[in-house]
């Protein structure tokens, strides 16, 4: 007994007794039963362990070997299960939160406490893509998509996209094919200037966007000589 709890016994001693009885059919007499033989053996109940399948059949019948392998299985089974699901530990979307700093360091990403846990996971997973397209319109759109959750709308025209980056005077001023106030202006404009427009489907979605953080993202992604306007609607 350990306290009020009894020990669980997995070994049972069993005794098998064999009796025989002689019966004289001609006389109609039944003689008393007599002990013909007996056998005493021990029944071992052991939890099954797959580790026994790796041993020759000779060793599978040895009780000590089974109990010894059960100890090894209990010690290493958590490690084996972790290795089976290693991909989930290395994916920022499914990895434990405590592992995120390691994964971020792995790809050279700096964790910003202003981002939510879900946003951090998406950024770490797409860090290499952001590095590849750093300083480009595509890289900025992907970055803003990961933060705001707004769709990229690559299949839609630019003017109807949720994340729109416009360079108004990218084609210059050509007489005969421009309209004053729309794609041309008198007196010159600001070179290397662009407009970022974030179009939300719901007012509460627009209110949840941190404008200061969006501007920080744009400042990180744009070339240093560029200027911009930000519109959130």
- Residues 6 or more apart whose Cβ sits within 8 Å of residue 167: 193, 194
Per domain, the residue ranges of the chain are 11-86, 133-232
Considering only residues 145 and 192, tell me which one the structure prediction assigns the higher pLDDT: 145
CA 190 to chain centre: 46
Q: Which two tokens stand for residue 32?
A: 């008393």
- Average the pLDDT over each of 4-13, 70-79, 89-98, 208-217 and give the range with the smallest value: 4-13
Confidence at residue 176, expressed as pLDDT on a 0 to 100 scale: 60
The angle subtended at Cα 107 by Cα 101 and Cα 109, nearest 5°, is 60
CB 196 within 8 A of CB 140: yes
7 pLDDT tier (thresholds 50, 70, 90): low
Q: What is the pLDDT of residues 125-180, one digit of tens each?
A: 888 888 888 888 888 888 888 888 888 877 777 777 888 888 765 455 555 666 66
Work out whether strand 193-198 and strand 227-232 pair parallel, antiparallel, or are unpaired.
parallel
Among the listed residues 112, 123, 111, the one whose alpha carbon sits nearest the alpha carbon of residue 147: 123
Helix axis angle, 137-148 relative to 211-221, nearest 10°?
Answer: 150
pLDDT at residue number 49:
79
CA distances (Å), origin 194, targets 23, 57, 142, 210, 227: 112, 76, 17, 20, 7
pLDDT of residue 210: 82
Whether 1 shows a pLDDT value over 50: the answer reads no
């Amino acid at each position: 007994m350990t306290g009020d709890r009894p020990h669980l016994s997995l070994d049972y001693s069993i005794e098998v007794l064999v009796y025989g009885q002689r019966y004289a059919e001609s006389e109609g007499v039944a003689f008393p039963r007599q002990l013909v033989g007996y056998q005493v053996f021990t029944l071992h109940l052991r939890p099954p362990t797959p580790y026994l399948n790796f041993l020759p059949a000779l060793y599978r019948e040895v009780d000590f070997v089974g109990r010894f392998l059960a100890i090894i299985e209990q010690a290493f089974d958590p490690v084996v299960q972790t290795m089976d699901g290693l991909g989930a530990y290395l994916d920022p979307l499914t990895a434990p939160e405590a592992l995120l700093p390691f994964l971020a360091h792995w790809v050279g990403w700096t964790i910003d406490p202003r981002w939510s846990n879900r946003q951090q996971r998406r950024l770490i997973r797409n860090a290499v893509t952001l590095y590849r397209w750093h300083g480009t319109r595509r890289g900025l759109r992907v970055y803003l998509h990961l933060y705001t959750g707004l769709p990229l709308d690559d299949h839609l025209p630019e003017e109807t996209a949720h994340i729109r980056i416009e360079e108004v005077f990218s084609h210059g001023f050509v007489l005969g094919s421009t309209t004053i106030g729309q794609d041309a202006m008198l007196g010159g404009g600001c070179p290397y200037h662009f407009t970022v427009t974030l179009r939300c489907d719901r007012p509460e979605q627009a209110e949840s966007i941190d404008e200061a953080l969006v501007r920080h993202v744009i400042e990180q992604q744009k070339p240093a000589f560029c200027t911009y306007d930000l519109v959130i609607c």
